[in-house]
Structure 1
Amino acid sequence: MANAVRWGILGTGKIARAFATALGDVPGAVLAAVASRSLEKAQAFAQEFNAVTAYASYHELADAEGIDLVYVATPHPQHADNALMALRAGKGVLVEKPFTMNLREAEQVVTLARSRRLFLMEAMWTRFLPAFDEVRRIIASGEIGTVHQVVADFGFTANFGPEHRAFNPELGGGALLDLGIYPLSIATALLGPVAEIRAQAELGATGVDVQTGFTLRHEGGGMSVSSCSFQARTPCELTVSGTRGHVRMNTMFHRAKSVTVALDDGSTRTVDTPYLGNGYVHEVMEAQRCFRAGLLESPGMKLEETLALMGVMDEIRRQIGLAYDSDRRRVRPLQREGGEVEDDGGWRRTEPGRVR
């Protein structure tokens, strides 16, 4: 395939499987390789999803020829190291959310990608759904008036044992990093930079948050109210309200196939929107579009915004009293050839919660 984009996937878990499924629905996408810490698992994954090669280590995949973009689908605390490894090997990288465990790690990854002039993007797939594009178009048209509020939730009942990734602090467990990033990301995309943060949470037996709520005041004057939960099956709705009405991403916002506008004159209308494959198709298409165009980041998920979102989550975690081992781990400096230390951004101070 002349214009194919050759993908490598790090990890063979649930999210990696969803992504591999999406690759099969995207023209020009080729699953060139998959890597696991177990060769047996990598080979089984490769056979199921028609990957060309299976590797028993992430380093082997990162160093391999014939791979354009690497998708990082490993557990949360490994995202930074795996992304840095792939970037050092000269590969473009798509990093599953949460991008990293904290802002300090995120700055190091972004700094390296920029210094090497390599493509890098956070895999916030809901930001590329056609339903979300339609919401932005409706807001821009002025149909619902001046927007002042976004309300969003994301929750399900996590009937897992305490050892499960969702509750394991060593694996970056907790509702905020797993679920809260979704409403947070869309709220900031719609209302802009964050000026103030107020958060509360319920911490579970393992010390991570099992549900969290946060209210953000945005610099433009709007407010967003978001929640996430492993304790309750919430509606997973997203509503944007303005002076003349509101627009809602229907059903669960991450599965929305239509949006509905309701105005103060009593009128309503519903717009059907595409939803290809399992939803991940849209982010794959965007990553491939950017890579082919020679872009270093996606206009729909800019790196500065990814950094800002990590800063917001750092502040939310500070307020609810949630810390991980990675918060205390010193960032390793990046070495150029010849031993010179690169400026990795690891110790640069950033105003908490501010979209830069």
Structure 2
Amino acid sequence: MTDAALPTILIVDDSPENLTVLSELLQPEYRVRAATSGEKALRVVATPPRPDIILLDVMMPGIDGYEVFSRLRSDERTSDIPVIFVTAMDSTDAEIHGLDVGAVDYIAKPIVPPILRARVRTQLELKQARDWLRNQNSYLEGELLRRMKENLLVQDVSIHALAHLAEIRDPETGNHLRRTQGYVRALANRLRHHPKFAHFLTDHIIEQLFKSAPLHDIGKVGIPDHILLKPGKLTPEEWTIMKTHAKLGSDAIEYAERDVDRPVEFLVLAKDIAHYHHERWDGTGYPDGLAGDDIPISARLMALADVFDALISPRVYKPPMTFQEARDIILAGRGSHFDPDVTDAFSQAYDEFREIAKRYTETEKVSLG
């Protein structure tokens, strides 16, 4: 074994004779470094090669062994180096104190060579085992993080794939999914410190809302083409069928939930958004006619985001409105169509809504007036 591959032992003792004796006992099995004071020991530890174990004399002038040990433990770069106290104090109390402060072993002078070698070997083997476990844990943590990121990516891709099933059925919607995601997050960020919303709109929930928002119209997959793609106004009968997309969407997500053994948070949010985003604050919406705070917060946010985007987007049956026209309609719906607090948040975030709409216009001619 080359010298560089040998375990490194730092011996700290104010007696040159003791350093010589200990060095001769441990070489050539180990690479030995030496320091004749606590101050020098701390400087040596800070330079490579880093010791694998330290034999530390307790009784030294200046900084004694206990102080050196305390400083080693307070520095994260040296806190895990095992320390064996080596001292002429052979009382039981001194040994107990040394072990209590955190030393891995305590050897009394005069040194018995076989005992010294055996204890050093044992502590080095324990350190190697701890290092191996630490490396394994670091690897496993890294692997877990990698797989979690991979799972989140698969989740995001799956969400968008499902959402695009509905979007493909209605090709005029373009970047509607991305815009409404952005609108929902903008509203949530404005309301996160509001007394009525702070308990719900945590960082985590806002991120989950952003992810689940694209599933709001997944139920349109179940609407017949002659209704979904009709270029003119729907008849009352056709409108009744069109309105079923809200429950169709929540039912589809609920079926997906049944395949897992515990609730999936973003699916719970997505189900509420899909089911209730056409409810109105005054209770005149659909499918359940909920009113006020009975409507889930997630759906209240999506209700405004969805209407705003529909207003500024072209459809076969209408041209796009200007941003100002859409803004006026949203504000006019405060307290009737929309939650008043959500509407106020929209008013504050109006410029951000405009920026989001402009950012995702490459497949639609959104009016920028």
TM-score w.r.t. length of structure 1: 0.27
Higher alpha-carbon Rg: 2
Structure showing the higher strand proportion among its residues = 1
Structure showing the higher helix proportion among its residues = 2
